[in-house]
A = this chain, B = another copy of it.
Amino acid sequence: MTSPTVQQLGEIGLLQHLRQFCPTEAIADDAALLSVAPDHQLVVTTDVLVEKVHFSDRTTSAQDIGWRATAANLSDLAAMGAEPLGITLGLGLPPTTSLDWIEPFYQGMGACLSHYGGVILGGDLCRAPVITVAITALGQVRPQRVLRRSAAQAGDAIVVTGEHGASRAGLELLLKPESGKTLAAGDRQHLIKAHQRPRPRFDVLPTLWQVCATLNRPIAAMDSSDGLANAVLQICRESQTGAHLVRSQLPLPAVFTPWLNAAQALDWCLYGGEDFELVIALPPASAHHLVEQLGKSAAIVGTIVAEPTVTLRETAAAEPTATLTLEQGFQHF
């Protein structure tokens, strides 16, 4: 028996199927109601994912697309220091889309939300030429805990959580299954999972608050959704600073050697994007303390400097080998 399409179900029929994924109040009114805790600010972020631009059936199941779209937005909340409240979903669907795609997609979103917090607060369904997923995530944060791109200061150490380049490598393995033949099956799966099931790093925040409890200044942070280089460059631009990045300290996945040559590995690490880790600038003592607490899942990769350029060097003491610019990085057009 084949699953019904959107056209066969009609909007009302489809909504009946989707009610199970949303709290009742959310889809029974013109808009959703939500309380923000006293002494908290609201945090809002939006992302649009388009079929054939941001995802394809070839590399990502409906369930993974639901997870990733949700995780990408939640990651922006984590990068502000906020905890999730919920999301709204604007979903554009071709009339031929099958319920077999839609239900797993909602399941993926639900799995991500139940893991990290928040509910589907409501949304909008409409017809579109390709599947289009517009998510707005809402979170809340105490004003003194807001992480801002603009808060970096010369002398700060740059802490990066997790590995970078893993998501890009996972995509490569999905697009070209014949590549990476030397990789062990477990390593392969690890990279593919980094692409399909990214994890917003809310787990880093309590440690960060604890390490910074006595600092009387804001902390700079951004997520690395558009690449590690992009995050450092954006923090520097908004803070009117520059940075020295040290190549030997960059968090490349260990399995990149001997699979990739050094240039390719560096490129994916700096520009691959979609790792959804955190890039944080804070005073060196706090940075060392943070990395100690987080263990091997974080590293200090460089220093914020007053001169407004971002350079890359082999070691902290070496001369720069490259200057990084926003134009090199992840562009959406």
Evaluate whether A42 and B36 lie within 8 angstroms (CB atoms) in the complex, with A29-B149, A76-B30, A331-B12 already known. yes
Say whether A11 contacts B331, CB under 8 Å.
Answer: yes
Asked whether A38 and B35 contact (CB < 8 A) given A30-B222, A132-B50, A332-B126, the answer is: no
Contact A90 B12, CB 8 Å, known A29-B149, A150-B28: no
CB contact under 8 A between A29 and B132, given known A14-B333, A35-B42, A333-B10: no
Asked if B53 and A332 sit within 8 Å, CB to CB, the answer is no
* 30 residue pairs bridging A and B, Cβ less than 8 Å apart: A7-B333, A10-B331, A11-B331, A12-B331, A29-B150, A29-B222, A29-B238, A30-B223, A31-B76, A31-B82, A32-B43, A36-B36, A36-B42, A38-B38, A44-B138, A46-B89, A49-B126, A50-B126, A50-B127, A50-B129, A50-B132, A53-B127, A53-B128, A54-B126, A90-B90, A126-B332, A127-B333, A128-B132, A129-B130, A132-B132
Stretch in contact with the other chain, from A117-125, A289-297, A314-322: A117-125
Distance to closest chain B CB from A318 (angstroms): 29
CB closest chain-B residue, reference A47: B124
Scan A109-144; emit 1 where CB is below 8 A from any B CB, else 0. 000000000000111111111101010111101000
Q: Which 4 A-B pairs have the closest CB atoms?
A: A134-B134, A31-B45, A48-B90, A136-B136
Question: Whole-angstrom distance from the CB of A146 to the nearest CB of chain B?
Answer: 6
Instruction: Give the docked Cα–Cα distance between A32 and B139 (Å).
Output: 10
Stoichiometry (number of copies)? 2
Contact of A31 among B79, B89, B332 (CB under 8 A): B79
Of the residues B28, B53, B149, contact of A238 by C-beta under 8 Å: B28
**Looking at the complex, which one of B36, B44, B50, B79 makes contact with A128 (CB distance below 8 Å)?**
B50
The answer to whether B31 and A43 have CB atoms under 8 Å apart is: yes
Q: Nearest B residue to A139 by beta-carbon distance?
A: B31
Q: Contacts A32-B43, A42-B34, A80-B29 known; A12 to B327 CB distance under 8 Å?
A: yes
Asked if A92 is at the interface of the complex by the 8 Å CB criterion, the answer is: yes
The one of B34, B42, B124, B149 in contact with A28, judged by C-beta atoms closer than 8 angstroms, is B149
User: Is A155 an interface position by the 8 A CB rule?
Assistant: no
| Given A30-B149, A238-B29, A333-B14, CB of A122 within 8 Å of CB of B54 | no
| Residues of chain B lying within 8 A (CB to CB) of residue A30 | 45, 76-77, 79-80, 149, 222-223
Specify the chain B residue showing the minimal Cβ separation from A53.
B127
A326 beta carbon closer than 8 Å to chain B: yes
Contact present for B126 and A48 (CB under 8 Å): yes
